[in-house]
Structure 1
Amino acid sequence: MTALAGAAISVSGVEKSFGDVHVLRGVDFDVARGSIFALLGSNGAGKTTLVRILSTLLKADAGTATVHGFDVATQAADVRESISLTGQFAAVDEVLTGRENLVLVAKLRHLKHPGSIAEDLLDRFALTEAGGRRAATYSGGMRRRLDIAMSLIGDPPVIFLDEPTTGLDPQARLEVWQTVKRLAEGGTTVLLTTQYLDEAEQLADRIAILHEGRIIQNGTLAELKRLLPAAEVEYVEKQPSLEDVFLALVGAGASTEGGDR
């Protein structure tokens, strides 16, 4: 495929196998700068494997990929300086308080005024009252919000969110959604994997469906919905949802819930 001019992320022919298991079989896509790109796939489709390759944690067997203009294989250090990665499980230090976690990351990034940065993020993620408590006392949702807040320190141009709202209550999910939208509005590029189809519908500028190691469809929500025939109008017109499109493409037996490779 032809790379999108000025793309924040460009992936071409990426392959990855673990022994005899072929997880990625030639993945191609581009992500425009300042956009939100959602990667959907059934359990074990390879979404996390792809994110690990793009974040330089894993090497591809074949193909090329660039992030923020840097090759993930030959310019790994430059890629790491340009990205932030939030994995499926919160990576916070439970011995430290929420505020101390944020201050520590800000200091590691050699940023000025780490205390002010921490206070701002605690406020944005509704954690101010809990900021002085050890993270070990936080609920799962609170730890997740703290983890995402930590990933935003330093304003990286590209952010990978791997299942960003897993375990969050509805209110916390909405808060994360609003934060992600604000990031894109400010020019940050966001690639997210999600098990929630409504999350992709709410957030993504483009959605790619990964199935059996390949991207089988890639488009806007409106473009994907047009893949199914228009609903017949009887009493109430019902347009196809993203869930209808996903299940039609990968099969009704597929599930987006649970873990991922």
Structure 2
Amino acid sequence: MRTTRPAGAGLIAAGLLAVLAGCSGGPTPAAPAAPPPAADAASATAAVCGSLLRLDSVPAPEGGPDGPPPAAAVKEWGAATSPALDAALAQAPTALTPSLTALQPVFQAAATQGTGPDFEDPAFTGAITDYETWAHQNCGYQQVALTGTDFHFDGAPATLEAGPVSILLANKSAGGEFHVAHLAKAKDAVTTVEQVVNAPMEQLMELVEIVPGFAQAAPGQTGGFLADLEPGKYFLICPVGDEGELPHHVQGMITEVTVA
């Protein structure tokens, strides 16, 4: 889970006018200082994008079948993610600041109290979606725009280049299904979609390694995540499934992606 898949000021131009002389014939007022060059703005954007990528790349603590993750694991996760969030806030543009600011107390509570985020809280998930959408539009990473239906991924690529990628998932479920998009890297290059589909959930981790971060979205909503991919064979999957139901990837929400 993320991680999720959490007040900095935007980059500003400082332009001070010289004080006019009190008498006639005084010095000519200085022209306003030039705004920051485009290179500075691009550098700030790159820094924010790198921080958000690090934020999404921290593996989230896993809970057991009977409860949430232990507090110690949540604290470790919070301690690892909070610096990335703070770094993003330090250079975030004005449009991004409110979402990151809203996430700050959540990540601080994780780091100091071992309290995990509530992934069913619309305020939390909305702030995550805001920064994921901003990153998708501004970071210049490879873009994957997925549509999740019942039960299929539309827009899934067959290949990607190694390196950062931004994935957005729009849930267009007609049956009220909640969908997620995970990337799972095959531990063996000969692993097939059929093997992943037929593997019981308790054995799935023997075949694949889950990439940190995932996109989650309720019907009609959008979610996203960032990942830095190494070469290899991956599977894009939606493993959602209530007890007694077939997981969505078994019903068709799985596709193979080659990263080179």
- Shorter chain as denominator, the TM-score bin is under 0.3
TM-score (norm 2): 0.26
TM-score normalised according to structure 1 size: 0.26
Q: Using CA pairs below 8 Å that are at least 6 residues apart, which structure has the higher relative contact order?
A: 1
